[in-house]
Copies of this chain bind each other. A is one copy, B any other.
Amino acid sequence: MSDAEKRLQVKRSCTRWLSGHGESTMRERLAGLMAMPESEGYPDVYGSGDPVALLERRVAELLGKPAARFVVKGVIAQQAALRTWSDASRIHTVALHPLSHIDSDELGAFERLHPLRAVRLDGGRGFGVAELEAVGEPLGVVTVELPLRNAGFALPDWDDLVAVSHWCRGHGVPLHFDGARLWESAPYYGRPLDEIADLADSLYVSFYKGLNGLAGCALVGSEDFLARATPWLTRHGANVYANYPYALSAIDGLNRYLPRMAAYRDRAESLAHAIAQVRGAGVTTPRTNGFRVFLPGSPDALAGAHLRLAERTGTWLFNRGATTDVPGLTAVEVQVGEATEAIPDDEAARLVADLLDSAEGDR
């Protein structure tokens, strides 16, 4: 058994988890989907039919856009979006943040599969109009990830986001939102989803992060945009034969978790505050339900200590961490969900302190 498999096994043997919505067996998830009224009818055929159409209508309505299309994987939806916009303008440059998922986690797919080139804008934990102004070359499309997960779930201030949108419209450059965690971002802005989505010409929203779906996402925009994106979706392999398990689980997620996103964000604030009191620990300021925790020790040492803690307490705090720019400091993530409710702030802080003591004992 690999280390990763061992960790996953222990994680699933726990009874409490600091992040997420808990662990379910396949049978439990399938039973949940079966119990939904939306599972009564016949399967979609290549995405045509309910419950996919139902999900698409609901997402389009929530985001105030004319149309939404279910896509099995965000990598597909976003490449189709970038290619569609850049083909329309005949300008094959994509402005993005170098920490964005598209640029850092997909093996350069958009540059390797399409005649696209990145223009990397780095204003620290995001970019704004100043960085766009400084580019000095034509841009085919601008994309903003909300929140920028690899920068500790960073969200731009509302005024800065509006300014980027205005800049793009003023310069005739399409703006695409990578909204993998858009559902989780709205509470920070205190604005409805459609007001946020209105700033962009197209969006991708994910169903399997905060919404706890099985997989999949939606590509959202005008009817014309989606019609032009469709051949690229096809070429990428988006036309999966039956999509209903994913669509059902996404509808369930919209019913169950979307209304709780503001509460999850509030909980992230108090939880981050409590963990920040632990000697040696630091946190990013949560703007969504997610934040980063910085802990002394190497990822290996912390993972080893954490595994023992999880076996001893039945509580899973963090997945394996990553090194940071600061030597000897590791970053782990918290993403508040339903499971987090079972662990009070003070207990979470005590467990983190316990973890650090144990990790220190290893040295």
Write the residues of chain A forming the contact surface with B, with a CB cutoff of 8 angstroms.
4-5, 8, 12, 23-27, 29-31, 33-34, 39-43, 45, 48-49, 51, 72-76, 79, 106-109, 112-114, 208, 214-216, 231, 234-245, 248
Contact = CB atoms under 8 A, between A and B. Distances in A.
A27 B34 CA distance: 5
Contacts of A243: 215
B73 A12 contact: no
A25 B51 CA distance: 12
Given A237-B73, A237-B236, A237-B237, A26 B8 contact: no
A12 B44 CA distance: 12
Nearest to A76: B237
22 contacts: A4-B48, A5-B49, A8-B45, A12-B42, A24-B43, A25-B41, A26-B39, A26-B51, A27-B34, A30-B30, A30-B34, A43-B214, A75-B235, A75-B237, A76-B237, A106-B234, A106-B235, A112-B235, A113-B235, A215-B242, A237-B237, A245-B245
Contact of A245 (B30, B49, B106): B30
A245 B30 CA distance: 8
Contacts of A43: 24-26, 29, 214
Contacts of A245: 30, 214, 245
A208 B242 contact: yes
A214 B236 contact: no
Q: Which 3 A-B pairs have the closest CB atoms?
A: A75-B237, A109-B235, A73-B237
A12 B45 CA distance: 12
Instruction: Work out how many copies of this chain go into the complex.
Output: 2
A73 to B, nearest CB: 4
B30 A237 contact: no
A41 to B, nearest CB: 6
A274 B112 CA distance: 52
Contacts of A45: 8
A236 B234 contact: no
Contacts of A40: 25-27
A73 B240 contact: yes
A39 B158 CA distance: 45
Contacts of A34: 27, 30-31, 34
Contacts of A48: 4-5
A244 B30 CA distance: 10
A94 B227 CA distance: 29
A166 to B, nearest CB: 32
Nearest to A4: B48
A337 B346 CA distance: 61
A33 B109 CA distance: 34
B242 A214 contact: yes
Q: Which of A5, A42, A214 lies at the interface centre, i.e. has the most chain B CB atoms within 10 A of its CB?
A: A42
A239 B73 contact: yes
A107 B236 CA distance: 10
Contacts of A72: 72-73, 237, 240
A256 to B, nearest CB: 17
Contact of A30 (B39, B51, B216): B39
B237 A74 contact: yes
Nearest to A26: B39
B30 A42 contact: no
Q: Which of A76, A79, A114, A242 lies at the interface centre, i.e. has the most chain B CB atoms within 10 A of its CB?
A: A242
Nearest to A35: B27
Given A113-B114, A237-B73, A25 B42 contact: yes
